[in-house]
Homo-oligomer: A and B are copies of this chain.
Amino acid sequence: MSRTPPSRPSSGPVRLGPQARAALWPVVAAEVTSGFWHERRRVNARVGIPQGPALLEAAGNLHNLRLVAGATEGSFVGDYPFQDTDVYKWLEAASWQLAQLTDDPQDELAADVERIVALVAAAQQEDGYLNTWFQSGKGEGRYSDLRWGHELYCAGHLIQAAVAHHRATGREELLDVARRFADHIDATFGPEGSGRPLDTFDAHPEVETALVELHRETGERRYLDLAAYFVDRHGHGAHRHEAYCQDRVPLREAETVEGHAVRQLYLLAAAADLATETGEPALIEACVRLWHAMAATKTHLTGGVGAHHDKEDFGDPFELPNERAYCETCAAIASIQFGWRMALLTGQARYSDLVERTLFNGFLAGMSLDGESWLYVNPLQVRDGYVDAGGDQSSRRTRWFRCACCPPNVMRLLGSLAHYLASTDGRGLQLHQYASGRFEGEAHSRPIVVSVNTDYPWQGRIEITVEQTPTRPWTLSLRVPQWCGRYRLAHGHDGPPVESAVLDDGWLRVERAWAPGERVVLDLELHPRLVVADPRVDAVRGCVAIERGPLVHCLEQVDHPGGGLDEVTVDLGVPLAVKERPELLGGVVTVVAGGHRRPLPATDWWPYRPADAAGATEPADAVHPAAADGSAEATTEPGAADAALRGVPLELTAVPYFAWANRGSGSMRVWLPTG
């Protein structure tokens, strides 16, 4: 199939040029105008992003920039060498926000951005280097500790911010700072024999994918080559072959994702960028292989990734714990960035299937409904009697943390979200995610504009109206979500089915000559459902989870008074019901299930006991031989096994996972025992 790239580039992230070896390109223009994501983005625009400058001031990030700019006295404030990235991620978020069409005045935001951009510029050194940790003397020896120093990681986020700032505002100031730093890095790092002093890489990837975007923004080939150089250095022992540093094996040889989840996925986003720019088969194969290894064996139901608190890393295949799921919010964001790049590279729907799941669950849970606090860790279970004895942030939302990587990361993804929803390939338009808005693609070098109107994910009906179209036929592609068992595509409301629709590996494709104003309606069946896991996922054996559409649901203690959640079982015999709860959690649709509050075994001093033939438990207090002759008979109580299966019937209220932990910090469960 001949490549027909669109003639005009996107105004969002991942701005592929016509030379890209992509299957799909981001749309030329995208807006979200109402509905679910519009509401979340408005909270981000009105509460999340505006509080940034004050929080960055209070946390010392701006002080550190003034300090190295010579504009203030004192010493570095904070504990981490990567604190500059909080500023850069906020600048990126604010820049994407400034590009939005909105009725809200944004003058104050624009002024904050330009003030902080000027501060960043003033902090940069003559030779282009910029890192307040090392410039302030808090850290010693520029580039002396690339395992922990995070200088290139910081540079990467500076570059991302600069690209966003330039794309959104057309202004050059921050882009100039980024280019000077990038040129400095290019002159400092390079292969042996290149005359450049350092043949190594930053143990925390980010600069790689940023350099590809800088190449796309500036047309400068050197930046692409430098990105490729850094990606290729991984796995050759510069960091003692540590998986944590993404150095255990070269990326093209890796069989699965491993090590620090955010580092792995930022590196893979860069690999997908490079594969898209160069079309290198080995790199494409590695990206496809590693995404599949992640999705099939190392991703939680919520789309969250990263099984271990310890080292923040991926676990073994199918090692997917619930209460100790780390699932850092930043890792969900990294997974979305990697997945979107893979969707563009391959054109396959499955990548956007996982992006959708991650957006609505593992990612969105990271921000409170009011936009004022965040979760760093996103577990799938908080146990009755959970005590945060170690400050592991597993169930408490915090306003801004010592290591505040997540909040501005959430802000920048929400700020640019419209650009992750649709794509074009020069022959039509593909809707990857469903949100009310307007998307402009291209066919036959002519604009295609469609508007979408939907109450998704609460309702399954999606109206797509062709606003602008060439006369010649083009293909509208609608993703049929992987979770969807039944759907219908019709001409207009309750009209006849669209006969020409063809399902093609997750894409429902309609090729036809469209007329302006023509409307098709996709109805996705939203029946709530129970899901189970591969038997190798030991953590959820004997459990089911509740989903509706793209939303994973969970039980929260607050909705189930009278006992703990760990006593609750779900009754598969009771059909799931849906209940609209406009008053709850800002307005959600809950799933109501049947269940029981089971009687727990008498608490003796030992929680393990002999199995009967069926593997059911005896009451704990009957274990110790009570009879003087020690006869085993004396230890069994008739009917005890049956009793252990019974319990008090209970109505279970399952709320969307993204909305959990907005009503205090009680227990929570995604996976529910069936008995």
Chain A residues proximal to chain B, CB less than 8 Å = 243-244, 248, 258-259, 292, 295-297, 299, 301, 308-311, 313, 315-319, 321-324, 350, 353-354, 381, 383-387, 389-390, 392, 480, 482, 484-488, 501-503, 505-506, 525, 529-539, 541-545, 566, 572-573, 598, 600-601, 603-611, 613-617, 620, 623-628, 630-632, 635, 644, 673-674
Contact = CB atoms under 8 A, between A and B. Distances in A.
A310 B392 contact: yes
A350 B620 CA distance: 14
Copies in the complex: 2
B673 A535 contact: yes
B608 A480 contact: no
A307 to B, nearest CB: 8
Contact of A323 (B316, B482, B614): B316
Given A318-B607, A608-B301, A535 B598 contact: yes
Contact of A572 (B485, B611, B624): B611
B534 A485 contact: no
A226 to B, nearest CB: 27
A390 B485 contact: no
Contact of A296 (B531, B607, B674): B607
Contacts of A632: 485-486, 525
A390 B310 contact: yes
A630 B487 contact: yes
Contacts of A529: 610-611
B258 A389 contact: yes
A354 to B, nearest CB: 8
Contact of A389 (B259, B301, B353, B610): B259
A624 B603 CA distance: 45
Contacts of A243: 387, 389-390
B530 A600 contact: no
A389 B313 contact: yes
15 contacts: A296-B606, A296-B607, A319-B323, A321-B321, A353-B606, A480-B630, A482-B606, A485-B632, A530-B615, A533-B607, A534-B620, A535-B617, A536-B600, A541-B673, A572-B615
A501 B627 CA distance: 12
A292 B605 CA distance: 6
Contacts of A610: 485, 529-532
Given A309-B308, A502-B628, A607-B533, A389 B485 contact: no
B311 A530 contact: no
Contacts of A259: 389-390
A382 B483 CA distance: 32
A531 B608 contact: yes
B486 A606 contact: no
Contact of A316 (B317, B383, B606, B673): B383
Contact of A387 (B316, B321, B627): B316
Nearest to A503: B628
A310 B392 CA distance: 9
Nearest to A298: B607
A125 to B, nearest CB: 32
Which of A308, A389, A600 lies at the interface centre, i.e. has the most chain B CB atoms within 10 A of its CB?
A389
A504 to B, nearest CB: 9
Given A324-B308, A543-B541, A535 B601 contact: yes
A297 to B, nearest CB: 7
